[in-house]
Amino acid sequence: MIISRDPDEDPAALFFYSAQIGSIAGMQKAIDKDPKIIYASEIFDRRSALHFAAASMDTDAVNAVRWLLAKGIPWSASDNESYLPEDIARKRGNDESRKFLREWAVKKGKLVLSLRKQLRSPSS
């Protein structure tokens, strides 16, 4: 996954490149330039910044994954091949990010199930 645009001129290129190398400062700089960029995906493969961070073998990759999730990037977004960020991390051998994404998904899944249960419960 190589970014072909110039990160110095294009906030999207800066955002995705920074995710790819695990640079939280770079991602924040891109968001400061264009706040909507956080929810963008790459045009050709529909990968989110979370996909790029999950694929990164950089030592800061899991911190970038955590940061993106905290910012509200959907953990369950799939790319054009139906891969989730967790799948990308597994394919690339990024076990730390894969484990974190799995734990996040389990927590979020339990929260959703809990909320559904509460909504179905008759009120007293």
Ordered structural domains, the chain, with CATH: 11-120 (1.25.40.20)
**Does the pLDDT value for residue 49 go beyond 80?**
yes
* pLDDT given for residue 113 in this prediction: 54
- Digit-coded pLDDT (tens) for 95-114: 999 999 988 988 877 655 55
Q: Give the predicted TM-score (pTM) of the model.
A: 0.79
Predicted confidence at residue 43, as pLDDT, reads 63
pLDDT at 124 over 70: no
- Res 2: pLDDT: 45
Cβ atoms 85, 101 nearer than 8 A: yes
Show the 3-state SS of the chain. Answer: CCCCCCCCCCHHHHHHHHHHHCCHHHHHHHHHHCHHHHHCECCCCCCEHHHHHHHCCCCCHHHHHHHHHHCCCCCCCCCCCCCCHHHHHHHHCCHHHHHHHHHHHHHHHHHHHHHHHHHHCCCC
pLDDT on residue 123: 56
Query: What is residue 110's predicted lDDT score, i.e. its pLDDT?
Result: 63
Q: What is the Cα–Cα distance from 32 to 22, expressed in whole angstroms?
A: 17
The answer on pLDDT for 41 being more than 90 is no
Tens-place pLDDT, residues 11-37? 888 999 999 999 999 999 999 999 988
Please tell me the predicted confidence (pLDDT) of residue 75: 87
Residues in a beta bridge with 48: 41
